[in-house]
Amino acid sequence: MKRIRDYGVTIGRLKPGERNKITDVEGVTVGHHTLKDGDSQTGVTAILPHQGNVFREKLVASSHVINGFGKTMGTIQMQELGTLETPIVLTNTLSIGTAAESLIEYMLERNPEIGRTTGTVNPVVGECNDMVLNDIRAQSVDKNHVHSVLDQTSLDFEEGCKGAGAGMLCYSMKGGIGSSSRLIDLNHGVYTLGVLVLTNFGLLSDLTVNGKPVGRELAHHLTEAKEERDKGSVMVIVATDLPVTERQLNRIIKRSVTGLSRTGSMITTGSGEVVIGFSTATRIPHEQKGALLNASFIHEEEIDEAFRAISEATEEAVLNSMITAIPTIGRDGNERPTLTHLLEKYHVSLT
């Protein structure tokens, strides 16, 4: 499947990682379960932050709400304690309960001490509303789908209409899952920052590709089409091995908004933009052992490179979610064109 760089578009100036995906951060894996059957156009995507037991070895984490029209779970405790203790699951809006219950079951199976000799667990779930292409009322996602994803994540994964992205729209066209990464070269080492997005936002005429108003040019050809209001959302998942505090991580993930804006996002009132980030650099044991914990973190003067990295990776991830999407006919025959289809049909160049 061609990605945005295969069309001659190079975003920013930092180098991407080997795969140019969130899984360039060592230990991170991603899995999908996709439901594409008539009115059912939805699914589940899971991100494992490391390959150990995340409950027993927590990670520094943070979340940020750009616009709060969303139904995420787990971000309140994440903000309070600054840690992530489960995988992250993404799905459609009305399946967050199923996703959370399944994730809790997954964690209980692996941690018999939860609810017995220790406290409970904080499942982290994100969503977007795929009701245009998916019969969201049918709640097609079940526990088996979620469990299968959590058990089958990998370093390489598909983008576009996969997993939670099956029924999503972006800039009035088909959207879904996209990813990208950047290398951060500092005096004490080279670090990686990766982004995965679930895109479901924006109006066609606003789409900008590397500074070029591609959406405006395409909208000019589609004079008969009436643009809908932007009532979608985007989930931005950020992983890095950069040693940071929870406060520094929060500063970094906030800058994802610059990447969204460079693609044309206006952050409208009905669009929920939520960012969840974690660093794999420090593992925090669940059990306290009566000794001080040690953690390294960058100097504040070094953080600008991370700001640039997340901006570039977010921008490219959004574009990858669109350029890898395939034509989809969903609920009641609803469909949306893909970016590649419109580019070919109207002979519009991305460069």
Residue 144, both tokens: 């088996």
Active-site annotation holds for 271: yes
Q: Could you say which of 181, 233, 265, 279 is catalytic?
A: 233
| Backbone φ and ψ of 281, nearest 5° | -70, -30
| Closest-CA residue to 350 (of 12, 20, 10, 13) | 10
Within 8 A by CB and 6+ apart from 124, the residues are 72, 73, 74, 75, 78, 84, 86, 87, 88, 89, 103, 276
Active-site annotation holds for 265: no
DSSP 280-343: EEEEEESS--SS--------GGGTHHHHHHHHHHHHHHHHHHHHT---EE-GGG-EE--HHHHH
Q: Could you say which of 271, 279, 311, 321 is catalytic?
A: 271
Dihedral through CA 9, CA 30, CA 96, CA 328, nearest 10? Answer: 50
Q: Could you say which of 246, 273, 315, 316 is catalytic?
A: 273
Active-site annotation holds for 85: no
Look at the block and give the residue holding tokens 């370093």: 155
| Closest-CA residue to 126 (of 165, 159, 162, 80) | 165
Residue 173 pairs with which residues in a beta bridge?
A: 170
- What residues are labeled active site? 233, 271, 273
